[in-house]
Amino acid sequence: MRTLQELINTEDPGWPIVKEWIDVAKNKVEILPCERQRAEKSLIDTQVTTRSLMGAIIYETGGLLIDSGWIRILGSGSARMKRTLPDWNLNKTFSAFGEPAPYLLVADDAIGGFYAINGGFFGEDMGNLYYFAPDMLKWIPMEIGYSQFLLFCFETDMDDFYTGLRWEGWQKDAEALHPDYTYSFYPFLWTEEGIDINKVHREVVPAGEAYNFNIDSAKALG
């Protein structure tokens, strides 16, 4: 385990790059404030340097909320979004801090979709992002790394990416949704009855509950 001093890069930090991208982003980006002690612990637990953009977000922010809070990029937690990146992954993708993870959960969205970095679980494209699509119950390769994923969040037309997965009035609902929670749908989005998202029932559930249910459902259905 590297020490905090070894992980903090003062010569070439990644945060100025992220901040510059945020300043010109097409999508609305909210920077959640972080607590220094919690940020330091999260950085140590994740074992990434602040030269990396992921390390910069962990060390400098409590997380990022994208497009009215529709996408939540994990950082070191805040009063508004309590989840930290390392704590969120503990007992999901690894059982102890410092262990190599088969994949690392780095962000999620308001409909129970999850973004993860491939650590070998998905194949040989190590470091690339995968999206767990709740309407298909499968991991979809995005063919981009973490830096490109940030640009995807900042620049992509999310209405296009989430075609058929946004209901009338979603902006108001996403803004009101606590970032540690997500929407659950019934009939399920992967069923024929759940294909029209404007006609399904929505309820708010903890993000951890949604993750466990969706992953377990994907395994059960093969």
Domain count, the chain: 1
pLDDT at 30: 98
Task: Give the pLDDT mean for 32-54.
Answer: 98
Q: Give dist(CA 216, CA 222) in Å, integer.
A: 10
Q: Give dist(CA 211, CA 214) in Å, integer.
A: 5
Residue with the two structure tokens 């037309």: 157
User: What's the mean pLDDT when you consider all of the chain?
Assistant: 97
The model's pLDDT over 156-166, given as tens digits with 9 standing for 90+, comes to 999 999 999 99
Residue 65 pLDDT exceeds 90: yes
pLDDT at 177: 98
Q: What angle do CA 169, 112, 205 make, to 5 degrees?
A: 85
pLDDT band, residue 145 (cuts 50/70/90): very high
Task: Give the pLDDT mean for 90-97.
Answer: 97
CA distances from 68 to 65, 110, 170 (A): 7, 10, 9
CA distances from 131 to 21, 128, 186 (A): 22, 10, 21
Element (H, E) at 42: helix 36-46
Domain of 15 in residue numbering reads as 4-220
Percentage with pLDDT > 70 across the chain: 100
The model's pLDDT over 169-194, given as tens digits with 9 standing for 90+, comes to 999 999 999 999 999 999 999 999 99
pTM greater than the 0.95 cutoff: yes
Residue 70 pLDDT exceeds 90: yes
Task: Give the pLDDT mean for 102-129.
Answer: 98
Q: Provide the β-strand partners of residue 183.
A: 204
pLDDT at 222: 82
